[in-house]
Amino acid sequence: MCAIFGISGVDESSNLTYLGLHALQHRGQEGTGIVSTHGKEPFVHKERGLVGDVFTASVINSLQGHTAIGHNRYSTAGGNTSENLQPLIMKSSLGWVSIAHNGNLVNATELTKKLEQEGSIFQSTADTEVILHLMAKSKERELTRALIHALNQVIGAYSLLVLNHEYLIAVRDPQGFRPLVMGSHKGRPVFASESTAFDLIGATYEREIEPGEMVIVSLNNNFSVSSIRPLNSALKKRCVFEQVYFARPDSLVYGSTVYHTRKNLGKQLAEEQPALHAEMVIPVPDSGVYAAIGYSEFSNLPFEMGIIRSHYIGRTFIEPRQAIRDFGVKLKLNPVAEIIKGKSIVVVDDSLVRGTTSKKLIQHLRDAGAREVHLRISAPPTAHPCFYGIDTPTKKELLASSNSIEKIRVFVGADSLGYLSLEGLLKVASEKSGEGFCHACFSGDYPCLT
């Protein structure tokens, strides 16, 4: 999961890109980068760290030009190293080309071996670089045609922004795994992984980039915008986990507001998995808040913030020398004993992966006086790893891959455990956005791999 942002034809393009990336920080925290241009040479800055720390005023001032693309990295393919930071940039017979990518290419290893045998030298271990080499080896000498040539050879998930001295191109893979939206800032085009980036810079949301669509901005023709559909058609397989977990609740994803989708997931969960003797609903903050609101409304149980989350945890902290049980979880999440003491409570979260955090949290709630703890998850069991841009654990590490719901309940120590069904999830997700979702992490039904 990464973030991409691009804008063309505006003053302070790098500053607006910085703001857009800041709004998309939740999609990647390992490193960030911006490439800008005035239509001739590129200006580049990439660095590990958060957006607000990396892009100082002097750095932003050095990124000149009317057009820029940016990227926040959350490593999936390739490691968390500086050479994998994006946007990647390469010089070839096409001139300089820069690319920012959200997603994973499932045939990247095969293509890398083939390209290396043909003489290509890779500068990173990111699968994104495969696209640049395929473009460079193309006989095409125009960016759009070279990009089409490359993308017709890759398989998997990609939402891309591609920039050179002539064009800014936004393109989404034919199955539409990862979101990509288009807006307008003072009449000029802007692109982002999520619409929340537009809100911060005062841009207007226009629409999604459709699966298989390529939107082309001409830097030499008054930033005119055109659209083509040059890629092979395929069934839509949009990542449903974007709506469950990844996207910000104030974003529009697949045509629906994430806030309302998650609230409706909570309502569906309450219908499917009621807790008959519970006295209140509390969320695991911040991930479970919106589903818990829906669960509370549907079940007519009071909603309480019975767990408080600390938002001031840095990358490192000093543990006390004297052992404190479950120190890491306590540092992040702390029950409010006065609210939950003596009560039967429903605890709502959006996912349960390894189960270790849930196990420790439930014990904390019991230590704080909860009489009963009923755990509800607003998604199906996560039983399979993702190969399309999400850094999930291996199948062996996923608790639901080899354990029944009853065994998981015993492991985490809940009085009852209920998951949303896959049918319920797809029913809610499809209300406004239609059919066509990837749910491989829940079902094991992998697009592209069969």
Q: Tens of pLDDT along 355-391?
A: 999 999 999 999 999 999 999 999 999 999 998 887 7
Is residue 384, in this structure, part of any structural domain at all? Answer: yes
CATH of the domain at 337: 3.40.50.2020
362 neighbors 249 (Cβ within 8 angstroms): no
Please indicate, yes or no, if residue 248 is contained in any of the structural domains: no
Looking at the structure, tell me whether residues 200 and 308 fall in a common domain: no
Q: Is residue 9 part of a domain?
A: yes
Both 44 and 136 in one domain: the answer is yes
Cα–Cα distance, 87 to 352 (Å, whole number): 33
At 46, is the pLDDT very low, low, confident or very high (cuts 50, 70, 90)? very high
Instruction: Please say if the pLDDT value at position 54 is more than 80.
Output: yes
Of 2, 386, 438, 441, catalytic: 2
Same domain, 318 and 227: no
Q: What average pLDDT score do residues 392-413 get? A: 91
Instruction: Write the burial class of residue 430 (CB in 10 Å: 0-12 exposed, 13-18 middle, 19+ buried).
Output: middle
DSSP designation for 83: G
In a domain, 239, yes or no: no
Q: Quick check: 282 and 365 in contact, CB under 8 A?
A: no
pLDDT(394) > 90:
no
Give me the pLDDT at residue 430, please.
Answer: 87
- Please enumerate in sequence order all residues whose Cβ is within 8 A of that of 42, keeping only pairs 6 or more positions apart, or say none: 35, 36, 89, 96, 98, 163
Query: Where is the domain boundary, 201, 234, 267?
Result: 234
227/263 same-domain check: no
Q: Are residues 83 and 179 in the same domain?
A: yes
Which residues are bridge partners to 35 per DSSP? 44, 69
Domain end, chosen from 199, 234, 269, is at 234
* Residue 330, token pair as written in the block: 């306590």
**What pTM did the predictor assign?**
0.92
- Decide if 322 is inside a domain: yes
- 140: closest CA among 88, 94, 89? 94
Select from 400, 391, 421 the least CA-distant residue to 271.
421
- Longest CA pairwise span in the chain (Å): 72
Q: Based on the domain organization, do 201 and 270 belong to the same domain?
A: no
How many domains does one find in the chain?
2
Domain boundary among 203, 234, 265: 234
Whichever domain contains 181, its CATH number is 3.60.20.10
Co-location of 356 and 437 in the same domain: yes
User: For residue 80, is pLDDT > 90?
Assistant: no
Q: Which domain holds residue 430?
A: 257-443
Q: What is the mean pLDDT of residues 43-64?
A: 97
Average pLDDT over residues 258-278: 96
**252 found inside a domain:** no
Q: For 224-263, what is each residue's pLDDT tens digit?
A: 999 999 998 889 999 999 999 999 999 999 888 999 999 9
Known catalytic residue: 2? Answer: yes
- Does a structural domain hold residue 250? no
In a shared domain, residues 182 and 314: no
Single-letter amino acid, residue 402 = S
- Give the least confident one: 7-11, 97-101, 106-110, 118-122: 118-122
Res 1 pLDDT > 60: yes
Residue 240 lies in a domain: no
Q: What is the mean predicted confidence (pLDDT) over 444-449?
A: 82
The mean of the pLDDT values for the chain is 92
Q: How confident is the model at residue 402 (pLDDT cuts 50, 70, 90)?
A: very high
Predicted pLDDT at 317: 47
Mean pLDDT of the region 332-353: 94
Assign 307 a pLDDT band (cuts: 50, 70, 90).
very high
Retrieve residue 17's tokens: 């890109």
pLDDT at position 310 is 80
pLDDT value for 450 = 46
Confidence of residue 320 (pLDDT cuts 50, 70, 90): low
Predicted pLDDT at 316? 47
> Is residue 293 domain-shared with residue 395, that is, in the same domain?
yes
Q: Which two tokens stand for residue 340?
A: 């939950």
Residues 181 and 267 in one domain: no
Dihedral of alpha carbons 221, 225, 226, 229, sign: positive
Mean pLDDT of 439-446: 93
Mean pLDDT, residues 197-216 taken together: 97
Share of the chain above pLDDT 90, in %: 79
- The stretches of 252-334 forming alpha helices (DSSP H) are 258-272, 289-299, 327-332
The pLDDT score that the predictor gives to residue 188 is 98
Q: Are residues 319 and 173 in the same domain?
A: no
* Residue 37, pLDDT score: 97
pLDDT tier, 180 (very low <50, low <70, confident <90, very high otherwise): very high
Co-location of 151 and 60 in the same domain: yes
